[in-house]
Amino acid sequence: MTMTTELAEPTIPQDQSPIEVRRFTRNRKLIAGLTLGGAIVSFGLLGPIFCQDPSLVHDQGLTGPGAEHWLGTTQTGQDVLAQLAYGTRGSLAVGAIVGVLTLILSTFFGVVGAYAGGWVDDLFSLFTNVVLVIPGLPLVIVISSYVPDKSIWLVSLVLAITSWAGSARVLRGYTLSLRNRDYVLAARVAGEKRWRVLAVEILPNLIPLLASQVIFAVIFAILGEAGLSYLGLGASGSFTWGTMLYYAQNGLALRLGAWWWFVPPGLMLALFGAALSLINFSIDEVIDPRLRNRTRAARKSWRMSSEQLSKAKEATL
The most confident of 1-5, 11-15, 181-185, 293-297, by mean pLDDT: 181-185
> Where are the domains positioned within the chain?
18-44+81-287
Task: Give this prediction's pTM.
Answer: 0.79
Q: Of 163-172, 178-187, 212-221, 272-281, where does mean pLDDT reach its minimum? A: 178-187
Instruction: Kindly state the greatest CA–CA separation across the chain.
Output: 76
Q: Tens digits of per-residue pLDDT, 296-309?
A: 555 555 455 555 55
Q: Tens digits of per-residue pLDDT, 258-292?
A: 888 889 999 999 999 999 999 988 887 776 666 55
pLDDT at 177 over 80: yes
Identify the pLDDT of residue 289: 64
Please answer whether residues 155 and 242 qualify as being in contact, where contact means their C-beta atoms are separated by less than 8 angstroms. no
CATH match for 18-44+81-287 among 3.30.465.10, 1.10.3720.10, 3.40.1350.10, 3.30.460.30: 1.10.3720.10
Q: Tens digits of per-residue pLDDT, 37-52?
A: 999 999 999 988 888 8
Cα separations in angstroms, 203 against 107, 123, 206, 242, 310 = 9, 21, 5, 35, 51
Angle at 150 between CA 133 and CA 210, to 5 degrees: 45
pLDDT band per the 50, 70, 90 thresholds, residue 73: confident
Report d(CA 158, CA 193) in Å as an integer.
36
72: left (phi over 0), alpha (psi -120 to 50) or beta: left
Mean pLDDT of the chain: 80
Q: Tens digits of per-residue pLDDT, 94-148?
A: 999 999 999 999 999 999 988 888 888 899 999 998 888 887 677 777 777 777 7
- Choice between 280 and 60, residue whose per-residue pLDDT is larger: 280
